Amino acid sequence: MIIDNTTELQAIHSFSRLEFLKEIYGIIWLLVPIFTLVLGITLGVLVIVWLEREISAGIQQRIGPEYAGPLGILQALADGTKLLFKENLFPSRGDTRLFSIGPSIAVISILLSYSVIPFGYRLILADLSIGVFLWIAVSSLAPVGLLMSGYGSNNKYSFLGGLRAAAQSISYEIPLTLCVLSISLLSNSSSTVDIVEAQSKYGFWGWNLWRQPIGFIVFLISSLAECERLPFDLPEAEEELVAGYQTEYSGIKFGLFYVASYLNLLVSSLFVTVLYLGGWNLSIPYIFVPELFERGKVFGTIIGIFITLAKTYLFLFISIATRWTLPRLRMDQLLNLGWKFLLPISLGNLLLTTSFQLLSL
């Protein structure tokens, strides 16, 4: 007796094909938000480079970039393309593996921080319950990449620059973390979304900027030091270290250090917006057609993104103006500021916040 199994085989094949298509569809929907975020970050970095050149030119009363694209906006893209085609040189007696991996670790560790930043209502890659502490943990890996780069270069200037980057990160990571702990206590959560929502309950005067003014100033100074921006760019000070940990680098690896620096500056400004300025909330009543601004609506979401970026670029302007205004500190002054001044103030701010929270229960 012969049994025809053609129908059963077709059903099995169609089921397996359907499951395969579902998996492909799930992977695509997983990659689309990541690709969109990376594209937005890249555009943001290009805008920051252009802004820095234009603002610095205005402060120094000179002409900034003006030939590459309209108003010189493509100058950063032109510089990146030039570095991409330049030769990659390696130190003859250096550690090639550490020399090559160092810049990548610095960039990747900072890129991971963007996954917990809410750009608007429900516009976040990963809403984790420990979002702000994931940022602190991941971003603290960047100086490890710089230390690897300095050590792998087999150059005393590079190695000193890597050691300075590690010392500076440790010094300013602790006050930064204590300020974040104070914000978490006020919001009763470590999720970035919950922190923004907690500030929106009380309107404009509920921003943590007014509830934590001391913590805000300490956070701002510590974030500038974490980004190694002037007056805290001791790891790459040209007067005594030539160029610090990037002395022996050329080509695209040299460019990756600048990409990491601007990525870190952008993510720090975004966290200032999220932690202290109410995130995507404008906290004022909308007079004209208020239903368009409701959360979840397309127009309201676009407005939320615009508000987040406006607050972020305001602090980027402050950071850029600070770089071209204040002189560089000495290494002992930098460490004294971190350990003897900012650490006691941030610890006292945390104890004060904890006391008020206990009394309000």
Q: Domain for residue 2, yes or no?
A: no
* Helices of type H across the chain: 6-59, 75-84, 96-111, 131-139, 142-152, 156-187, 192-200, 208-211, 213-226, 238-241, 251-276, 298-323, 331-336, 343-359
Give the model's pLDDT for residue 302.
81
Highest mean pLDDT among 94-103, 299-308, 333-342 belongs to 333-342
**77 plus 101 within the same structural domain:** no
Across 276-297, average pLDDT: 63
Q: Domain for residue 234, yes or no?
A: yes
- pTM summary value: 0.87
Least confident of 21-25, 193-197, 249-253: 21-25
Instruction: Quote the Cα angle for 125-129-134, to 5°.
Output: 70
**74 plus 136 within the same structural domain:** no
**334 plus 298 within the same structural domain:** yes
- Residue 351: pLDDT band with limits 50, 70, 90: very high
CA distance 135 to 112: 8
**329 plus 204 within the same structural domain:** yes
Q: Domain for residue 6, yes or no?
A: no
- Indicate the residue among 21, 53, 85 that finishes a domain: 85
Number of domains making up the chain: 2
**110 plus 65 within the same structural domain:** no
Q: Domain for residue 163, yes or no?
A: yes
**191 plus 60 within the same structural domain:** no
**145 plus 251 within the same structural domain:** yes
Residue, of 156 and 14, whose pLDDT is higher: 156
Residue 169 clears pLDDT 80, i.e. is over it: yes
Q: Domain for residue 7, yes or no?
A: no
Q: Domain for residue 103, yes or no?
A: yes
Domain region containing 61: 41-85
**162 plus 142 within the same structural domain:** yes
Q: What is the DSSP code string of 145-201? A: HHHHHHHHTT-HHHHHHHHHHHHHHHHHHHHHHHHHHHHHHHHT---HHHHHHHHHT
- Indicate the residue among 85, 111, 143 that finishes a domain: 85
Q: What is the pLDDT of residues 44-68, one digit of tens each?
A: 888 898 888 888 888 888 887 888 7
Q: Domain for residue 26, yes or no?
A: no
Mean pLDDT of the chain, nearest integer:
83
Give the model's pLDDT for residue 1.
44
Across 160-173, average pLDDT: 87
With H, G, I as helix, E, B as strand and everything else as coil, classify residue 123.
Answer: strand
- Indicate the residue among 85, 114, 147 that finishes a domain: 85
- Residue 296: pLDDT band with limits 50, 70, 90: low
CA distance 263 to 45: 7
Give the model's pLDDT for residue 342.
93
**61 plus 148 within the same structural domain:** no
Q: What is the pLDDT of residues 73-106, one digit of tens each?
A: 888 888 888 888 888 888 878 788 888 888 888 8
**66 plus 211 within the same structural domain:** no
Give the model's pLDDT for residue 297.
66
**148 plus 267 within the same structural domain:** yes
Handedness of CA 11, 15, 21, 22 (dihedral sign): positive
**187 plus 295 within the same structural domain:** yes
Residue, of 323 and 347, whose pLDDT is higher: 347
Q: Domain for residue 28, yes or no?
A: no
Q: What is the pLDDT of residues 12-34, one digit of tens each?
A: 555 566 666 666 766 777 778 88
